[in-house]
Structures are given as C-alpha cells and as structure tokens.
Amino acid sequence: MKRSRVNQWRRRMGTMVSSALFLWVGMISGCASSNPGTMSTGTLPDGFPHHSAREILDHLPAYPSSMTRLFAESRIALSSPEESGRFSAKISYLHPESLFVRVTFPLGVEGARVLVSTDSAWVYDRIEKVVWTGSPERVAAVLPGAVAGLHLVEMATGFELPDPDVAWSVDTDSTLYLLTSPDETIRYTIDPALWRVVAVKQQNMEGAITEQRWYSDFATFDDALVPRRMALSRPPEDLRISMALHRLELNPDRLTFELDVASDAQWIDLGH
C-alpha cells in the first residue's frame, strides 16, 4: 500500500476502533460534542462529607465476578477531525484474557474486527482486506488507539479504580467526593450515594486537560451496577464520543472470538 493510503487507513482505524473499545453506556443524548453534568443520584450515606480517602476507596467495588463472561452491543457516535459519524460494535469479553470487537457501519457493513489477548493483538480491516498482528504494544504503535489493552473494559464500565497507593486528597462538590492526586494530574469524582466513579479528569503538569470521562444512568445487571451512559472527551485530539448500550448479556452460552479472515487478505506482522 502507498504510504499516504497507509496513513489514512491508520487514522481511520485508530479513531474507529478506539471508539468501539470504549464500548458501553446508555442512550446517545444529543450530539457527540455535548458534555454531561455530574450530580448525585440518591440518598447520601451516613458520614458524608467526612469520609477519608481510605474509607472512600474501601467502598468502591472491584470488577464484579458476574461480568467475567459477557456479550454486548453498543451504538456509538463520535466527532473528530479524522472521522465523524455513528456506528455499532458487538463485543465479546472473557475477563481478563480476551476481548473481541466487531465494528459495523450504517447499512450493516461490517468494517473491522479486533481481537486482543494478554500478549497478542489482531486488527482486521475487512474492507481493505488487511490484518495487522503483533503484540498489543507493537500494534498500538502503528495504529494509535486501535489497541489499548484489556483494561478498557474496566475503564469503560467505571471499574478502573483509583490507585490505593496514591496519597489522594479529598474534597467535596455539593453531594460528591473528589479525589485528586498529589501532582493534580488526575481527579476522580465519586458519587457516595452509589459508591461509584462518575467522572474522571486527566491533565498534564501544565494544567491542560488531556482526557475526561463521565458515567451516568446506572442500572443493575445480575447484581453488577453498570453505567448506561458514558461520554469521553480528549481535547488535544479534538475527539468526543458518546455511546449507547443496546444489549448486555452476562455469562452467555457461547462467545465468539473468530476473526474469520478472507483467504486473500494481506497479513502484516509487526512482531512481539
């Protein structure tokens, strides 16, 4: 492939697949550029607003065992300089070993399949008939955003928790707790009525925001409290994403992890 074509393909795949890998969340509300507000959703617990950082962290749930095997369908809207539009994704996940994503454009055209394991990754462009394979790190270096690791499921569902070894400072914002790192580069917003992370903000040392995420409209699936809405903003990339959880099935009878590559597809091995 010509270099210009490769670069164009990389940008399109990186934006499209990274959006799909953020998987979940409730109904797409408004345009993809809108930022949701954050507010408490229920009755505040005894002790608010005097919980310590350790007490807050102890209340936050770990990734639930009921979500070890799951299948999900999501609808995604994104806006970026390289790609804007809507598409859907079908996700199979076996925690914490394997993640498989099928990306479908409007009119039912399946554009890509992505398979990620602990030590390997495959990105299959079904339109161009090209498969990139290698370690997750090598593939991510060539296709920024297309492979970001298995931790994305925890991040997308709000189960990526603050590091317990960090000396978090605690503040309150009306009915919410704010945990801020000592260098002020990351801040978690926690709803004590749910004891769930409802927003995350990351910024560089100069104070410029690099990424923000919001979680809302929580619902219970087999005792697991999952956000049915999520929004993502990355100002340096002018990227905004909103997503809709269309279906979530826990412990399905069968999960599919097959790339089903065409016999005439080109394979590009990036190494491990």
Q: Cα angle vertex 161, ends 237, 87, to 5°?
A: 45
What are the residues facing 171 on neighbouring strands?
178
Q: Tens of pLDDT along 34-74?
A: 344 555 567 999 999 999 999 999 999 998 988 899 998 88
DSSP-derived 3-state class of residue 28: coil
The predicted pLDDT at position 222 comes to 81
Most confidently predicted of 13-17, 102-106, 199-203: 199-203
On the question of pLDDT at 132 being above 70, the answer is: yes
The pLDDT value recorded for residue 204 is: 97
pLDDT at residue 39, as a whole number: 54
pLDDT tens per residue across span 148-166: 556 667 777 888 899 999 9
- Give the amino acid at 158: G
Query: Looking at residue 153, what DSSP letter applies?
Result: H
Q: What is the pLDDT of residues 173-220, one digit of tens each?
A: 999 999 999 999 999 999 999 999 999 999 999 999 999 999 988 888
Helix ranges restricted to H, 66-222? 136-142, 152-156
Residue 229 contacts by C-beta under 8 Å, 6 or more apart in sequence?
A: 25, 26, 27, 29, 36, 214, 215, 216, 217
Write down all domains in the chain, each with its CATH number in brackets.
3-264 (2.50.20.10)
What pLDDT does 23 receive? 42
Length of the chain: 272
The confidence score (pLDDT) of residue 12 equals 55
What are 243-256's pLDDT values in tens digits?
777 788 889 989 99
pLDDT of residue 44: 94
CA distances for 20 relative to 44, 99, 112, 114, 170, angstroms? 34, 12, 10, 10, 33
Q: Give the separation between CA 13 and CA 24, rounded to whole angstroms.
A: 19
Q: Encoding tokens for residue 169?
A: 């400072």
pLDDT at residue number 208: 97
Q: What is the pLDDT of residue 32?
A: 33
